[in-house]
Amino acid sequence: MRYATNYDIGDRKRERGINEDSLSLTVFEQGHREGYRGQTRPDHDDAGEKSATGETGAPDDEHGTDDSFDFTTTDEPVEEKIFDAAAEEDAAATDDDTDAADADRPANRSAAVFVLADGAGGHDAGDVASYIATTVIAEHLSPVAVNTVRSHPEDFDIDISPAVLPDTLGPEDIQTGLQNAIVDAHREILRYASEAGTQAYTTVVAGVYADGYLHVGWVGDSRAYLVNDAQEEIVRLTKDHAVVKEMEENGEIDAVEAHVHPNGNEITRALGGPSHEDPERAMVEVDTRSVRLFAEDTVLVTSDGLIDAQTDAPELYNEYIASDRSPEVADRITESVVTDAEIRDVLLDADSMVDATREYVSLANERGGKDNISVLLFDDTTLPPAPSGGVPVRAADPDIDIAERETFILSDE
């Protein structure tokens, strides 16, 4: 599994503001017997040893030597630290004999839990709310990811009686785990608000990756995407809980207006609340879903600081309406905001995940740097490739008539 993260306070908040985003990633990587498929095998002995992080590094690569984890920092303020894995750049083995031997070796298995939370800036303690969300949810979900991996010893040709294995968790079980973890974080935030006599809100998008599937749950407008390199496409895995999204779905505004609408900062769901809410009984509605991942997929998770970076949005909106929604103004708006197509192209054109995360931060700041931005990328090239006929529809809100969808039969072969 390869991953990279980056975050920034945003240009508009750099002089007077704080970063209210919070991001956590927990990776469980297991190798056994002879094989560690998808990674370069160094010729000398000690370079192939695994660090405590679970990543195997290629020697003398851009991140460091041997298998050290390089948490690289720039000369910029602390908010602009760049975190990346030393093994972010894989290379396939080129020796034919090694390839033949690898074909008979079990693959390594990766599992991960991610949580990204964006604290509401208009309230007293958005930074605290996002911190609580990422830590509480990660604590709840990490055992779920490990359980999912542990319940499949056959992946390493290990014969263990089911009587001594944990129960196998299906998608519904993991989605329930996501819901419970997010609700518990909601209550912990309310508990903090009650004790502090304040109010605290945050969005959240969280996921469990294990056994070739991504299970995601969310509240608010932080997003998860899939970018498929083979298909050169991007799809949203989440659907914003936001006023503008509802207006667009109801036909009240078009897609161009949605990019720059004055109500673009209003969400319809969040974790937390005011101090008078009862933290013991509080509930929040959590949306969840599960999708199959393939070797060509990259998961992209981001706060709305990337999507809503444009500081001139109100003026652009007024100009668009005054022009009677002219195509010329629409094109100018599309060029000035960050679109899903542009997010896709940044990743497809980047030389590495690390470069892509840096470019996302630069892009958001170039378009205005309206808010904090956090971004996470990860993939798993040990997964099977996508079916030759294409991938199934995985978008949360697909732009395709259901009658036109093709039927895909997916197997584990």
User: Read out DSSP for 355-366?
Assistant: HHHHHHHHHHHH
pLDDT of amino acid 392: 78
Q: Tens of pLDDT along 346-375?
A: 999 999 999 999 999 999 999 999 999 999
The encoded tokens of residue 118 equal 């964006």
Domain boundaries, the chain: 2-33+106-404
Cβ distance 282 to 269 under 8 Å? no
Q: What pLDDT is stored for residue 35 in this prediction?
A: 55
* CATH assignment of 2-33+106-404, among 3.60.40.10, 3.20.20.140, 3.40.50.10860, 3.40.50.300: 3.60.40.10
Question: Rounded to an integer, what distance in angstroms lies between the CA atom of residue 85 and that of residue 54?
Answer: 10
- Predicted TM-score of the model (pTM): 0.81
> pLDDT at position 163, please?
87
Predicted confidence at residue 97, as pLDDT, reads 43
The Cα–Cα gap between 235 and 223 comes to 11
Write down the pLDDT at residue 36.
53
pLDDT for the residue numbered 91: 36
Q: In this predicted structure, what is the pLDDT of residue 210? A: 93
Beta 287-292 vs 213-219: how paired, if at all? antiparallel
Low-confidence ranges of the chain (pLDDT < 50): 40-106, 400-413
Measured between alpha carbons, how far is residue 410 from residues 108, 383, 385 in Å?
A: 22, 13, 11
DSSP state of 78: G
Report the pLDDT value the prediction gives residue 232, as an integer from 0 to 100. Answer: 92
pLDDT of the residue at 75 = 37
